[in-house]
Structure 1
Amino acid sequence: MDVYQGAVAALVPYFVAERAYSYAAASGVVLAASLLSSLVQPLFGVLTDRWAMPWLLPLSALTAGAGVALSGVTGSYPLTLAVVALSGLGVAAYHPEAARLARVVAGGRHTGMSWFSFGGNAGFALAPLLVFAVMAAGGLPASPLLAIPAVLGAVLCATVVRSAGSGIRGAGLPVAAGRDDWASFLRLSGAVVCRSVVFVGLGAFVSLYVRQRTGGGEAAGTAALFVLYAGGAVGTLAGGRLAERYGRLAVVRRSYALTVPAVAGLVLVPGPTVYLFAALTSAGLYVPFSLHLTLGQDFLPRRTGTASGVTLGLTVSVGGLAAPAIGALADATSLRTALLPLIALPAVGRLLLCGLREPAAPGAVAAQRTDPRDPAPR
């Protein structure tokens, strides 16, 4: 599924090169993918709090893939925005229900949810390579080939749903006895918004920026985007392990602090070291990724679907709302100047996390009590 979130950003340089889009117009494509998704994903989260809807998984995979596949063959800018928005709708429909089932399977454990997030981040990492291969084969008119992962994903989801049968239709963790902590959840969401703006802004423009700075061609830009996304696959798994040792909030705070100098180096330090700073930025952005999800679910134990929809959807997709502003600033000044504000946002997110307390993790406790190897509560 997350191949299609990463593919939109990976397609931006080709829209600029083959269709002569301005930076602002190209970032509007990123906005189209994010806007509808950000608006409806919390709604899907509310629905999954009331009803299990595993049938959404294969349907949403096909929808996400169809939108991106059509984006390269549309004849007009408005139609391109429409099909990319359709892809965002598919992404929005998928994540809350998938997160609900992942939480059931993982028993609320941090490492289990980090594996779930790993899948998405691996998709992000593969997206630039997939887009590069397809564009090399035939440019934007070859974009229908990008539907192949969606078809494979839909078959996989349908097979799992059919084989599991009613077991997952009614699956869910017991409702926690505690109360929803909306104040903490909103502060966490604000921090995720800051992280999202940095992630989406870099995802949309780092490929073009590295081409300018290094003088390399498409391969140099694709390599930078791949490093930015690929480091996340490793960082997400590391986040779950680190959280079990040091606590979720401690790991999240340190990750935001690391991101500030990493983004500064990516934007300001010239030469091939841009790839090193891209890797450090990736670690800072991705280590807390799955921890955002479990923290949000534990801050709202009675509304885990809503928490998933907001944490994975609304707050993440809001980053796309900032993309046109970055693009417009780049058109008016330079791409380097437009990326400078991204250095400060992780620091703002770190400030929002100050004072938050670790919430109870009812899912993990429930899982520990029912584990035959560990019958006594810890």
Structure 2
Amino acid sequence: MTTASVRSAAVQTGTIYAILFAISSVHLMNDTMQAVVAALFPILQKSLTLSYGQIGWIAFTLNMTSSIMQPLVGYFSDKRPAPWMLPVGMGLSLIGMAGLAFAPGFWFVLLAVVFVGLGSAIFHPEGSRVVYFAAGGRRGLAQSIYQVGGNAGSSLAPLMTIFLFVPLGQSGAIWGTLLAASAILILLRVVPWYREQLEQHGKPVKRAANKASATSENKLSRSTVTMALTILVLLVFGRSWYMSGISTFYQFFAENKYGLSVREAQVPIFLFMAAGVLGTFFGGVMADRIGRKRMIALSMGCATPFALILPHLPLMWIYPVTFILGFVLLSGYSVSVVYAQELLPGKVGMASGLITGLAFGMGALGAVVLGKLAEAWGLDQMMTSSSFLPIIGILSFLLPPDRRDAA
């Protein structure tokens, strides 16, 4: 076997950690730019005199833009992968960051977040395909490394509120353009490798995926796959709506109930999201050992009691409980993506775009609905009611077993 063929085989079977960490770092920057929007909520509410409903609409616009486009981008990129789309997506996000920094009113903020959402929608499906090529045989671990970057970026929202936007105000969003520029520089190194993998292994991977698809269809009927995807969508619904309530409105809830300042109210949200980063990683590692279905069920089931008690706790207990809740709830996030990819072999971009896009989309819809409920019922009642959402995780027991579950 020639040196080139050995290297080629290694690329196909080995886990390429340098590429995984590079694309994960870009994922971090991408989701940090999205987190800028959430971090600006308390600032924009005061400077632009926004209602809870308008805050919800901003979150809706950002997430729905990304949600609608991700499955579409995934569908077309499965047919014709386009590595150049990765830096283009970051360029759109750069425009959005600049727009946020100088938006004079509500409608200009909405326009800016559309660019951020489009950039994210373009990045995620192509980024997932890079992960697919670099994963080797450790798909759960690889997807977790990728998602850890994104969740780490999202977790920075409270810190940005505390250290950037409280002292600098809305104009501090201009620093987000540096994130986009840095991401583009990293992608200029990733894109040539990605293009090489498509040229060398695109067709073999597709043939292998088609073979896997045929094998899968012998085990799972079309109706079973449809049922499983429907259940996954419902699980994404419950998790995303609940997370939207925490990330968007819990800061206002903490200010009202515990008398915390804007800065102090960011701490439990940061603990929730930072723990989610750890949970995402360990969930992927555990899923490679115990199976995707079991990990998804454990994540949703174990998160439910902590979600139910959170609105009723005294101040000193919200910190450990939000940490545990974030760790447990997010431990099933990347696993859901891998499970969907196994249900739809050969459609990596579409599967990841569907689940990740739905997460953004459901979160977007949840932000609007929960914002309206907060105005109609009051913030306390809305947070209490939303704590029941993780109970929908009981549906995970109806999912068909994956290969490791069945073993």
Same structural fold, with TM-score higher than 0.5 when normalized by the shorter chain: yes
Aligned partner letter, 1:281: L
Partner of 1:167: 197
- Alpha-carbon offset, residue 284 of structure 1: 2.4
Number of aligned residues: 361
Counting only pairs closer than 5 Å after superposition, residues 307-322 of structure 1 correspond to structure 2 as: 307-322=351-366
Q: 2:399 aligns with which of 338, 341, 356?
A: 356
Counting only pairs closer than 5 Å after superposition, residues 217-228 of structure 1 correspond to structure 2 as: 217-228=261-272
The answer for unaligned runs of 5 or more in structure 1 is 362-377
Q: 2:337 aligns with which of 269, 293, 300?
A: 293
Question: CA offsets, 1:246-282, max 9 Å, x none?
Answer: 2221121111112211112222212121112211221
Question: CA offsets, 1:145-196, max 9 Å, x none?
Answer: 2221111111111122135552345654321232362321221122112111
Identify if the C-alpha distance between structure 1 residues 358 and 316 changes in structure 2 by more than 3 Å, giving closer, same or farther: farther
Say whether the 8 Å CA contact 2:73–2:121 is kept in structure 1. yes
SS of the equivalent of 1:272 reads: helix
CA distance in 2, matches of 1:334, 1:20: 18
Partner of 2:286: 242
CA distance in 2, matches of 1:254, 1:268: 24
Partner of 1:206: 250
SS of the equivalent of 1:233 reads: helix
- Alpha-carbon offset, residue 219 of structure 1: 1.9
Aligned partner letter, 1:138: L
- Alpha-carbon offset, residue 198 of structure 1: 0.8
Which 4+ stretches in 1 moved above 6 angstroms?
none
Aligned partner letter, 1:116: Y
- Alpha-carbon offset, residue 79 of structure 1: 1.6
Q: 2:85 aligns with which of 56, 63, 67?
A: 56
Say whether the 8 Å CA contact 1:64–1:87 is kept in structure 2. yes
Higher helix share: 2
The answer for unaligned runs of 5 or more in structure 2 is 1-29
Question: CA offsets, 1:316-366, max 9 Å, x none?
Answer: 322211212211221223211111222221111x232122122348xxxxx
Counting only pairs closer than 5 Å after superposition, residues 1-378 of structure 1 correspond to structure 2 as: 1-107=30-136, 109-162=139-192, 165-168=195-198, 171-172=201-202, 173=205, 174-175=208-209, 176=212, 177=214, 178-179=216-217, 181-348=225-392, 350-360=393-403
Say whether the 8 Å CA contact 1:35–1:321 is kept in structure 2. yes
Say whether the 8 Å CA contact 2:291–2:403 is kept in structure 1. no
Identify if the C-alpha distance between structure 1 residues 131 and 54 changes in structure 2 by more than 3 Å, giving closer, same or farther: farther
Aligned partner letter, 1:90: G
Q: TM-score, normalised by structure 2?
A: 0.84
RMSD: 2.0
Aligned partner letter, 1:244: D
Identify if the C-alpha distance between structure 1 residues 250 and 164 changes in structure 2 by more than 3 Å, giving closer, same or farther: closer
Q: TM-score, normalised by structure 1?
A: 0.90
- Alpha-carbon offset, residue 76 of structure 1: 2.2
SS of the equivalent of 2:65 reads: helix
CA distance in 1, matches of 2:94, 2:276: 22
Say whether the 8 Å CA contact 2:341–2:348 is kept in structure 1. yes
